[in-house]
Amino acid sequence: MRIFFKCLAPALALFAAACSQGGGAGDANDPNAFHILAGSELKDIEPTVKDAAHKAGINVVFDNAGSLDVIDRINSGEKVDAAWVANGAYTSLALARKPAASTKTMYSQVLLGVKPDVAHRLGWDAHAPTWAEIGKAAADGRFRYAMTNPAASNSGLSALVSIATSVTGKGDGLASVDVHAADIQGFLKGQSLTAGSSGWLADAYAKDNAALDGIINYESVLLDLSHRPGVQLRIIRPSDGAVTADYPLLLVNPARRTDYDNLVAILTGAEMQRAAAASGRRPIDASIPPSPELSRDPAIDLPFPAKLDAVDALLGAYLDKLRRPVRSWFVLDRSGSMEGDRMEGVKSAMSTLIQGDKTTLAGRYARLAERERTTLITFSEAVDPPQTFLIDAHQPAGRAGLLDAVSAITADGSTNLYDAMAEALRQAVAEQARDPGRVYSIVLMTDGEVNAGMNAKDFERFYAALPANKKAVKIFPILFGEGNVGEMERLATLTGGRTFDARTGALAAVFREIRGYQ
Amino acid sequence: MKIARVLPALLLILVLAGVGFGIYRSHQVAATHARLAATAQIVGAIGSEKGPLLADPDVVSALGKAGLALRVDKVGSREIVTSFKPGAYAFGWPSGAPAAAELKARAHAAGDVTPIYTPMVIATWKPIADILQANGIVSGAGQFRRVDMHKLAELMLAGKRWNQLDHAEGFPVGKAILVTTTDVRRSNSAAMYLALLSYVENGDQVVDDKATANAMAEKLAPLFLRQGFQEESSADPFSDYAAMGMGKTPLLFAYESQVIEYLLKPDAARRSEMVLLYPSPTILSKNVFVPYNDAARRLGDLLANDPTIRAAAQRYGYRLPSSAAIPQAWRTAGIAAPDTLIDVVDPPSFSTLETMITVIQEKLQ
């Protein structure tokens, strides 16, 4: 009998393997697949890695997420074999359990792309500025740039660490006591376009950069962007250096050590290193030259902080004190079809934003921050009276009031979406003209077809008649339920915003992601 | 209903397949056992930087001929000691003498041997070495020079930046003058840096009491904290040094072996720009092999005496205690490293180092 049981287990395993469909390369259900949770900034090079790994008999399956989400998901115990991230230092500091192995694979610094005429006007084409000088130009309104949200994306975080490190005037790694608020705040005055992802930011810049002087992003992304039609960028390397992404592959599941070692050999091998160079990143193998378009001068590196508390202090200050404060409208559908689970989902996701989720990094930083002003507009057949709240630690009634207003929403009636959006836009455009220092956005959440009030054509006519500063108000529709995808996409494009898909994923995660764009 | 009818048949198939597989497996196992009878598998814990040497095909085959098969776990030198459990491994091979001495005591081991060693160096770049030389901190010429650790420590502790030095035109950068190290909590090379600087700052005395250890750690902690993030393994900062050049790593505390191994590669990029500074005084990383059983003692003997393994070790940049001069192969490759090192400092005891590391560890948390 003992032999029987001993033998049954491997037989079952064989049987299961034989029965699983496919099992070949590229199949996520392959029990031998090597699962890598990768930063979204690595998407461009993933197909090349998959091919190279496939030739070596390793079926690599990639799943992409933002830098903070990668850390949160591993900390929550998600079963992945490895992680591949842009910033090894931050990941190492924030992971609850240190990875079994870590190997750097390539480099890219977070630098400035500046329009050639602007670079000339500021004198940056002749002498590279320090971050402190860049900050001064931004504070004086002479340099308006696109940069991702540092609490959501590594390129923004790297730039924030760079400016914070530069203005200490010490040349050391940043410590929590060294956060010089006024200088950083001046720099952030110039942040005129934000996003939760470096790739989306680059696309948005390529589409419309009329109101911008430049963009902060990875050197590799800037190089790619400078090749796009209609975009002219000069890559500026600040003279005091920049934080460098080093793209380590981290072994999370020690049982996959052999595959990990083989993958490291592939990633650091000549073929993949040439692919890294072709992607605009700098190879880790010094014998393979980087793109000839990149500067050959030494890339001065600014250190990442030694301790997580310095990063926490910096991000906390960014959100609550230093960044341009958020002005947002949440336009929520409370028509009859939202009744039940859908409405409960929306309420729960909103409550998490209002109160914060301390269990994850991303949840902690997504919390509504100090100085934010938020208006709640609900609608069914009519538009309910807007309710506005200010988030202020000294006046807790603001946060509490918003929470109460959200929990009091009831679902009933038809869907008068465009009248509600028009109301939000009217308010936003008027306020933006009075107070251009804030960052304006409208989040729209609906689950059905419009069947009351203005239709899409009426709304487009209304939008066309708004004053020119409407460009400063982004619309972020959430795709949900039976909502009209085409109309939602149209609303997003009209305003340079984007849609977020909650039809398959969790609503809470989508709300959190949107925060990176506000 | 359908499932109920199919199930017994399915189970029968499974059982037959299982029995068949079991028979197949037991044949395989028997074959493997026959091979293992001739080869003793030894499992050990090593400092990570020796991994490539032990995985070298020449070394594996030399060990195989002697009937030994090796499997190693890469563990930090400090952790090899602090996580020592009798029976877990057949040997420990840390990278520093203090760790080895403590390990020997904890394991009640006999027959330790030092097959290889390497001096600690500061890897840098020609423009940087020239600036330091113009400021009277570096002496000598060419690719292999000397650095006065007293003067360098003074500059670093004063918080000086590169652009504040005279003749800094070659590196007019606002970065603080600091030597890049690994994370002292986990890595031997950073511990060697702490050992060396504590000697220098203690009036050229090896620190050997707790009060002095605490005072030295307090004084030297900023040289670690101010660096910003520090990597755990010595391979990472060396990658940064070689690939990103002086902008990322103007000064790197490294094993001489890392740099020599790199310079011995025929396609080593930027080799002519690299400069090795030999600290004065200096400190050696002695790779003391500590065996816990007879098979491991046999392995230690081979590591120290087998000609193939000795030649391989030199290819990986290590020096052999029994050789008075650097290997001919290094010379042929144009490596004019010093044959002998003078003014070599002893590291403090393991417990004194622990005291110092603990002080810094608390500040890094």
**Residues facing residue A111 across a β-bridge:** A217
Q: Does A270 touch chain B (CB under 8 A)?
A: no
Tell me the chain B residues in contact with residue A172 when contact means C-beta distances shorter than 8 Å: 159, 176, 178, 226-228
- What's the rounded mean pLDDT across residues A73-97? 95
**Residues facing residue B287 across a β-bridge:** B116
**pLDDT value for A18:** 38
Q: Judge whether A116 and A232 are in contact, CB under 8 Å.
A: yes
Contact A8 B14 (CB under 8 A): yes
**pLDDT value for A67:** 86
CA distance B30 to B47: 34
Specify whether B304 is located in the same domain as B172.
no
**pLDDT value for B240:** 95
Residue A205 has pLDDT above 70, yes or no: yes
Specify whether B52 is located in the same domain as B193.
no
Q: How many domains does chain B contain in total?
A: 3
Cα three-residue angle A336-A342-A347, rounded to 5 degrees: 105
Chain segment A144-198, per-residue pLDDT in tens: 999 999 999 999 999 999 999 999 988 899 998 888 999 999 999 999 999 999 9
Q: Does A239 touch chain B (CB under 8 A)?
A: yes
Tell me the chain B residues in contact with residue A285 when contact means C-beta distances shorter than 8 Å: 243
Contact A89 B229 (CB under 8 A): yes
Domain A108-244 matching CATH 3.40.50.150: the answer reads no
Q: Hey, of A295, A300, A302, A308, which one would you mutate to test binding to chain B, going by the most B CBs within 10 A of its CB?
A: A300
Beta strand B282-291 with B91-93: parallel, antiparallel or unpaired?
antiparallel
Residue B64: CATH number of its domain: 3.40.190.10
Nearest Cα residue to B118 out of B266, B212, B3, B254: B254
Q: Does B19 touch chain A (CB under 8 A)?
A: yes
CATH topology of domain A2-107+246-283: D-Maltodextrin-Binding Protein; domain 2 (3.40.190)
**Residues facing residue A326 across a β-bridge:** A439
Specify whether B18 is located in the same domain as B46.
no
Q: Does B227 touch chain A (CB under 8 A)?
A: yes
CA distance B348 to B212: 12
- Non-local (6+) Cβ contacts of A89 within 8 A are A246, A304, A305, B228, B229
Residue B14 has pLDDT above 90, yes or no: no
Tokens (6 digits) for A375: 């208006």
Q: Smallest CA–CA separation between B128 and chain A, in Å?
A: 12
Confidence of residue A27 (pLDDT cuts 50, 70, 90): low
Tell me the chain B residues in contact with residue A129 when contact means C-beta distances shorter than 8 Å: none
Tell me the chain B residues in contact with residue A170 when contact means C-beta distances shorter than 8 Å: 159, 161, 176, 226
Residue B18 has pLDDT above 70, yes or no: no
- Which candidate from B176, B269, B364 shows the least CB-CB separation from A171? B176
Contact A306 B244 (CB under 8 A): no
Nearest Cα residue to B227 out of B190, B281, B188: B190
Specify whether B142 is located in the same domain as B57.
no
- Which candidate from A15, A282, A287 shows the least CB-CB separation from B269? A287
- Taking residue A225's Cβ as centre, other Cβ atoms within 10 Å add up to 23
Contact B159 A307 (CB under 8 A): no
Nearest Cα residue to A380 out of A337, A351, A346: A337
Tell me the chain B residues in contact with residue A133 when contact means C-beta distances shorter than 8 Å: none
Tell me the chain B residues in contact with residue A305 when contact means C-beta distances shorter than 8 Å: 228-229
Phi, psi (deg, nearest 5) at residue A66: -65, 160
In a domain, B329, yes or no: no
- The ipTM assigned to this model is 0.87
CA distance A509 to A507: 5
Contact B233 A306 (CB under 8 A): no
In a domain, B25, yes or no: yes
- Taking residue B210's Cβ as centre, other Cβ atoms within 10 Å add up to 12
Judge if A2-107+246-283 and A325-515 fold alike in CATH terms: no
Residue B352 has pLDDT above 60, yes or no: yes
Residue B278 has pLDDT above 90, yes or no: yes
Q: Does A296 touch chain B (CB under 8 A)?
A: no
Domains of chain A, residue spans: 2-107+246-283, 108-244, 325-515
Tell me the chain B residues in contact with residue A92 when contact means C-beta distances shorter than 8 Å: 229, 232
CA atoms within a 13 Å half-sphere pointing along the CA-CB vector of A201: 33
Tell me the chain B residues in contact with residue A286 when contact means C-beta distances shorter than 8 Å: 242-243, 268-270
Residue A91 has pLDDT above 90, yes or no: yes
- Which candidate from B236, B240, B364 shows the least CB-CB separation from A306? B364
* Stretch 373-412 of chain A: residues touching chain B, C-beta under 8 Å: none
**C-alpha dist (Å) from residue A78 to A35, A37, A73, A82:** 11, 10, 6, 11
Residue A262 has pLDDT above 80, yes or no: yes
Specify whether B187 is located in the same domain as B269.
yes
Contact B247 A299 (CB under 8 A): yes
Residue A58 has pLDDT above 80, yes or no: yes
Specify whether B206 is located in the same domain as B266.
yes
Contact A8 B239 (CB under 8 A): no
Specify whether B167 is located in the same domain as B273.
yes
Residue B332 has pLDDT above 50, yes or no: yes
Tokens (6 digits) for A14: 């064989």
Tokens (6 digits) for A71: 């850390």
Specify whether B280 is located in the same domain as B298.
no
Q: Judge whether A208 and A88 are in contact, CB under 8 Å.
A: no
CA closest to B235 among chain A residues: A103
Contact A173 B243 (CB under 8 A): no
**C-alpha dist (Å) from residue B348 to B181, B195, B358:** 19, 6, 14
Q: Smallest CA–CA separation between B325 and chain A, in Å?
A: 30
pLDDT above 90 coverage of chain A, percent: 85
In a domain, B330, yes or no: no
Tokens 């776990």, residue? B73
Q: Judge whether A272 and A58 are in contact, CB under 8 Å.
A: no
**pLDDT value for B40:** 82
Of the listed ranges A21-30, A444-453, A493-502, B114-123, the least confidently predicted one is: A21-30
Chain segment B83-104, per-residue pLDDT in tens: 999 999 999 999 999 999 999 9
Contact B229 A303 (CB under 8 A): yes
Residue B125, SS3?
strand
Specify whether B216 is located in the same domain as B311.
no
The whole-chain average pLDDT of chain B stands at: 90
Phi-psi region of A119 (alpha: psi -120 to 50; beta: other; left: phi over 0): alpha
Contact A170 B176 (CB under 8 A): yes
CA distance A414 to A381: 5
Contact A92 B21 (CB under 8 A): no
Specify whether B244 is located in the same domain as B310.
no
Taking the C-alpha atoms of A423, A425, A427 and A431 in order, what is their torsion angle to the nearest 10 degrees?
Answer: 180
Tokens (6 digits) for B72: 């190693």
Chain segment A419-460, per-residue pLDDT in tens: 999 999 999 999 999 999 999 999 999 998 888 999 999 999
Contact B18 A303 (CB under 8 A): no
CA distance B150 to A40: 47
Alpha helices in A20-75 (DSSP H): 46-55, 67-75
In a domain, B352, yes or no: yes
pLDDT above 90 coverage of chain B, percent: 81
Beta strand A34-39 with A244-245: parallel, antiparallel or unpaired?
unpaired
Q: Of residues B22 and B313, which shows the higher confidence score?
A: B313
Residue B226 has pLDDT above 70, yes or no: yes
The whole-chain average pLDDT of chain A stands at: 92
- Non-local (6+) Cβ contacts of B133 within 8 A are B139, B145
* Stretch 272-291 of chain A: residues touching chain B, C-beta under 8 Å: 282-287
Residue B4 has pLDDT above 70, yes or no: no
Residue B37 has pLDDT above 70, yes or no: no
Residue B46 domain boundaries: 37-113+290-322
* Stretch 446-465 of chain A: residues touching chain B, C-beta under 8 Å: none
Contact B178 A7 (CB under 8 A): no
Contact B22 A7 (CB under 8 A): yes
Nearest Cα residue to A300 out of A145, A104, A107: A107
Cα three-residue angle B179-A163-A355, rounded to 5 degrees: 115
CA closest to A248 among chain B residues: B236
Tokens (6 digits) for A231: 């975009």
Q: Does B52 touch chain A (CB under 8 A)?
A: no
**pLDDT value for B103:** 96
Tokens (6 digits) for A4: 């029987």
Specify whether B245 is located in the same domain as B301.
no
CA distance A142 to A136: 9
CA atoms within a 13 Å half-sphere pointing along the CA-CB vector of A291: 19
In a domain, B70, yes or no: yes
Q: Does A93 touch chain B (CB under 8 A)?
A: yes
- Chain A / chain B CB contacts < 8 angstroms: 133
**C-alpha dist (Å) from residue B8 to A8, A10, A146, B99, B354:** 15, 19, 66, 61, 64
Contact B19 A241 (CB under 8 A): no
Residue B23 has pLDDT above 90, yes or no: no
Chain segment B185-225, per-residue pLDDT in tens: 999 999 999 999 999 999 999 999 999 999 999 999 999 99
Chain segment B118-177, per-residue pLDDT in tens: 999 999 999 999 999 999 999 999 999 999 999 999 999 999 999 999 999 999 999 999
Specify whether B88 is located in the same domain as B208.
no
Tell me the chain A residues in contact with residue B229 when contact means C-beta distances shorter than 8 Å: 89, 92-93, 173, 303-306
- Which candidate from A107, A174, A239 shows the least CB-CB separation from B243? A107
Phi, psi (deg, nearest 5) at residue B198: -70, -35
Q: Does A3 touch chain B (CB under 8 A)?
A: yes
**What CATH number does the domain located at A325-515 have?**
3.40.50.410
Residue A22 has pLDDT above 50, yes or no: no
- Non-local (6+) Cβ contacts of A122 within 8 A are A114, A129, A137, A142, A143
- Which candidate from A3, A15, A169 shows the least CB-CB separation from B22? A3
Tell me the chain A residues in contact with residue B19 when contact means C-beta distances shorter than 8 Å: 3-4, 7
Exposed, middle or buried by CB within 10 Å (0-12, 13-18, 19+), for A77? Answer: exposed
Tokens (6 digits) for A85: 């991230």
Residue B20 has pLDDT above 60, yes or no: no
Tell me the chain B residues in contact with residue A6 when contact means C-beta distances shorter than 8 Å: 22
Nearest Cα residue to B152 out of B139, B142, B141, B138: B138
Chain segment A213-243, per-residue pLDDT in tens: 999 999 999 999 999 999 999 999 999 999 9
Confidence of residue B233 (pLDDT cuts 50, 70, 90): confident
Contact A298 B364 (CB under 8 A): no
Q: Give the global pTM.
A: 0.89
Give one DSSP letter per residue of A243-310, joined into a string.
-EE--EEEE--GGGHHHHHHHHHHHTSHHHHHHHHHTTPEESSTTSPPPTTS--S---BPPPPSSHHH
CA distance A504 to B2: 34
In a domain, B199, yes or no: yes
